[in-house]
Structure 1
């Protein structure tokens, strides 16, 4: 589990970010703070691994919070979020050790990529006492696609590779159309609850596209399509 603190003065954005983050395993938002002072309190009371930090906030802005936490030598990482993309701020953030820097408005896919990259780096450094130069190069200067592929093989607890392969194969065979969980369930003769668990996992790792559709009664339903990266 990776415990996340969201620091954002806009309540709607904070809630949106929380929902996005918790779609990605194993990230859990354990606290939301509206300013730097609230964030300091949360850091004292909870174990935090990663802070998603807005820079411009009242009372104590993000950069001040960032510097204060660094002076305290707390073992916590930062992904900065801001509407500013000036080079001075980016340079300062990098010097303080930010793992990423997102400029508003950003797409969920960009945040998702940032979190997955962070998870891969964290897992690599935890699991291996020593790393090769090639692995170091991928972490610091290159594409970490290879690590991402390995990470995809590590299924969430309760999921099984054989069943996952069946779902993926069916989605690939029907990649030209949007499919409902009901259709997938009927064709694979599996329960809707089980199918949805696998679909949620495949969406989280970027294998499928999820689209909301409203029916005649106004109730939303979800349709899914396999993402064929070779045809992008």
Structure 2
């Protein structure tokens, strides 16, 4: 059964901005806006009644600060996650937000690309948390990095290393069923020669992604096999 949609609440005093953010959310798969609150009091009530998974929270309201709502949520052990969207640029506001356990901090005016990055990163996190089980370091790293669909143009690679082929080689070792492979076996999986595969595998060793070991058989030369570093 699908774990989506992620139930999202917008708490923002400016109705035009809350409507803009609602439209932003509707462009993204896996999210459902379950409510829009334009006052802190409405936010308190909707958090309690709706129990959203994620809240997009402003800081500045005519009647007070959104940080007060965040504090009450944390004091009451409300399970909702929070992304702050605010005009506050002071270091103190950021520190307080981080201490309050916010998932991300966006500064107004928010452009769609940055908004999308925050929500897709949260979607990855939400899905992984629903799956349960243990996390490896690579899983944690993926959750804290930018969503792969939004990564900037990759850094320049050395001559002879194509980014698409490199990605395919890396993906082989992301399969938990793959313990180790020879260059020939890796090449067959991505459709390149043993020599080409070995070039990419050795590059990934230099990047600290893979490691290699020599396996000695009963007869013949030892075989160099590659595996993902733990």
Q: Which bracket does the TM-score occupy, shorter chain normalised?
A: 0.5 to 0.7
Query: Do 1:37 and 1:60's aligned partners in 2 also have CA atoms closer than 8 Å?
Result: no
1:29-61 per-residue CA deviation (whole Å, 9 max, x = no partner) reads 111001111011112221311100010012242
Q: Give unpaired runs (5+ residues) of structure 2.
A: 152-166, 168-230
Alignment of 1:52-67 (within 5 A): 52-67=56-71
Q: Would you say 1:145 and 2:148 are equivalent positions? A: yes
Q: How far has the Cα of 1:138 moved from its partner?
A: 2.7
Query: Do 1:37 and 1:59's aligned partners in 2 also have CA atoms closer than 8 Å?
Result: no
Query: Do 2:87 and 2:108's aligned partners in 1 also have CA atoms closer than 8 Å?
Result: yes
Specify whether residues 143 and 23 from structure 1 end up closer, same or farther in structure 2 by C-alpha distance, changes over 3 A only. closer
The runs of at least 4 consecutive aligned structure 1 residues that moved more than 4 Å come to: 146-149
1:46 aligns with: 50
Residues of 2 paired with 1:102 and 1:144: CA distance? 16
CA root-mean-square deviation: 2.0
1:170-219 per-residue CA deviation (whole Å, 9 max, x = no partner) reads xxxxxxxxxxxxxxxxxxxxxxxxxxxxxxxxxxxxxxxxxxxxxxxxxx
Higher helix share: 1
Q: Would you say 1:114 and 2:118 are equivalent positions? A: yes
Number of residue pairs aligned between Structure 1 and Structure 2: 148
Residues of 2 paired with 1:147 and 1:55: CA distance? 27
1:48-80 per-residue CA deviation (whole Å, 9 max, x = no partner) reads 111000100122421110001110001000000
Normalised TM-score (structure 1):
0.60
Residues of 2 paired with 1:147 and 1:132: CA distance? 23
Q: Would you say 1:71 and 2:75 are equivalent positions? A: yes
1:31 aligns with: 35
Residues of 1 paired with 2:142 and 2:83: CA distance? 19
Query: Do 2:117 and 2:146's aligned partners in 1 also have CA atoms closer than 8 Å?
Result: no
Alignment of 1:1-232 (within 5 A): 1-140=5-144, 142-145=145-148
Q: Match of 1:137, SS?
A: helix
Greater gyration radius: 2
